[in-house]
Structure 1
Amino acid sequence: MARMKFICDSERCIECNGCVTACKNEHEVPWGVNRRRVVTINDGQIGAEKSISVACMHCSDAPCMAVCPVDCFYRTDEGVVLHDKDICIGCGYCSYACPFGAPQFPGTGTFGLRGKMDKCTFCAGGPEKNGTQAEFEKYGRNRLAEGKLPACAEMCSTKALIGGDGDVVADIFRNRVVKRQSNGKAAGANVFGWGTAYGKPQQPSGNKS
């Protein structure tokens, strides 16, 4: 069974925010919530500036699942971390636990009055029957049930953002690193999020250092 994962290649991201727009348009994400966002590190520092697309990393050992007092989070057979909004009580524990800031609340106001948590679903919908209006209204379009990959990854013009089978995604990035090394360019092996979410960062074949 494939384990779905995201990876963002900071050497390719051009901060166009196409992934952010694609996500909001595909799922009609509520105002004030960005299931995906682009973050720039070392902004303004020539030669050190990097941009990365950030969303839920669908961690193998998800901290949001560990802290939820009502167990509204669950993991699908494909490794996608989802949540049940009918169970969610809006306590906010998941938003504090997530290192990527993925869980968000659509409303504003005092703590406890912000409604149900919203997050990236890897375009995998929710617990309702696939393709139903109820599923779309709560979680957005279920592209995985249609045999498609997440809209954000498909719309990335430079293919910096990759989503899909974790083994395939890792192989694609590994090949890029090897080519960069052979061309004398920076390897860019410390891809954002991979080590935190999935364990030890992936190493290119032949590099044991």
Structure 2
Amino acid sequence: MARMKFICDAERCIECNGCVTACKAEHDVPWGVNRRRVVTLNDGVPGEKSISVACMHCSDAPCMAVCPVDCFYRTDDGVVLHDKDVCIGCGYCSYACPFGAPQFPSQGAFGARGKMDKCTFCAGGPEANGSEAEYAKYGRNRLAEGKLPACAEMCSTKALLGGDGDVIADIFRTRVVARGKGSEIWGWGTAYGSPSKGSGNAPQQPKAGPTK
């Protein structure tokens, strides 16, 4: 049985936020809620890295462990979903999640969180697949249509991988082994080539003559 997972290749992520935009557009995510976001470490200094973060659909999800009303459930594909009709908005899941995946709408009275929202791996919710009720609460169910999550499909550099955990792990492993080091991590040598010696592009150094 396939277990759906996300992997973000930090060497390829260019912080374009295309994944964030694709998620919002695909599911009509309400204002104030970000099911996916891009986090940048060491911003503006050497070694800067960016990574796209959302619900990681943990095998041992802490949000499921702390929910007092058991609104979370796991599908046969390993996707962690929740039932908004059961959620009471207590916020325990947001405190327990190490990835900050559970989101709460910003509208409403002070202290009132409302129903929790998070990444669904484009797998909808407990309602019938493709129904209007499912879309209104959880967005589009792309997995039922045989498609991958919109964020992964729209990633321009293919940094964000989503799908069967074993398959995307093999893809990432192949990249790490083949990408090399230094500038080759970005593929500059493949794109632009390496300057040939004595090509005339760089000034030639004069040869040293005999010393007197």
Answer whether TM exceeds 0.5 for this pair.
yes
Residue 201 of structure 1: aligned partner: none
Structure 2: which 5+ residue stretches go unaligned?
186-212
Residue 184 of structure 1: aligned partner: 181
Q: How far did residue 186 of structure 1 move?
A: 9.1
Structure 1: which 5+ residue stretches go unaligned?
189-209
Whichever residue aligns with residue 10 of structure 1, its letter is: A
Residue 38 of structure 1: aligned partner: 38
Residue 56 of structure 1: aligned partner: 55
Q: 1:178–1:187: 8 Å Cα contact kept in structure 2?
A: no
CA RMSD of aligned residues (A): 1.5
The question of 1:146 aligning with 2:161 is answered no
List per-residue Cα deviations over 1:101-149 (Å, max 9, x = no partner). 00010134433x1210000000000000000000000000000000000
Provide the rounded CA distance (Å) in 2 between the counterparts of 1:20 and 1:171: 25
Paired residue secondary structure (2:29)? coil
* TM-score where L is the length of structure 2: 0.84
Provide the rounded CA distance (Å) in 2 between the counterparts of 1:186 and 1:75: 41
Residue 194 of structure 2: aligned partner: none
Provide the rounded CA distance (Å) in 2 between the counterparts of 1:38 and 1:185: 24
For the pair shown, the structure with the greater C-alpha radius of gyration is 2
Whichever residue aligns with residue 173 of structure 1, its letter is: F
The question of 1:82 aligning with 2:81 is answered yes
Provide the rounded CA distance (Å) in 2 between the counterparts of 1:168 and 1:159: 14
- Identify if the C-alpha distance between structure 1 residues 184 and 65 changes in structure 2 by more than 3 Å, giving closer, same or farther: same
Provide the rounded CA distance (Å) in 1 between the counterparts of 2:26 and 2:49: 27
- Map of 1:142-181 to 2, 5 A cutoff? 142-180=141-179
Q: How far did residue 44 of structure 1 move?
A: 1.1
Between the aligned residues of both structures, percent identity stands at: 84
Whichever residue aligns with residue 22 of structure 2, its letter is: A
Whichever residue aligns with residue 7 of structure 1, its letter is: I
Whichever residue aligns with residue 176 of structure 1, its letter is: R
Residue 202 of structure 1: aligned partner: none
- Map of 1:184-203 to 2, 5 A cutoff? 184-185=181-182
Provide the rounded CA distance (Å) in 2 between the counterparts of 1:13 and 1:76: 29
Residue 16 of structure 1: aligned partner: 16
Provide the rounded CA distance (Å) in 1 between the counterparts of 2:183 and 2:93: 35
- Identify if the C-alpha distance between structure 1 residues 157 and 55 changes in structure 2 by more than 3 Å, giving closer, same or farther: same
List per-residue Cα deviations over 1:143-202 (Å, max 9, x = no partner). 00000000000000000000000000100000001112xx234999xxxxxxxxxxxxxx
Provide the rounded CA distance (Å) in 1 between the counterparts of 2:77 and 2:183: 33
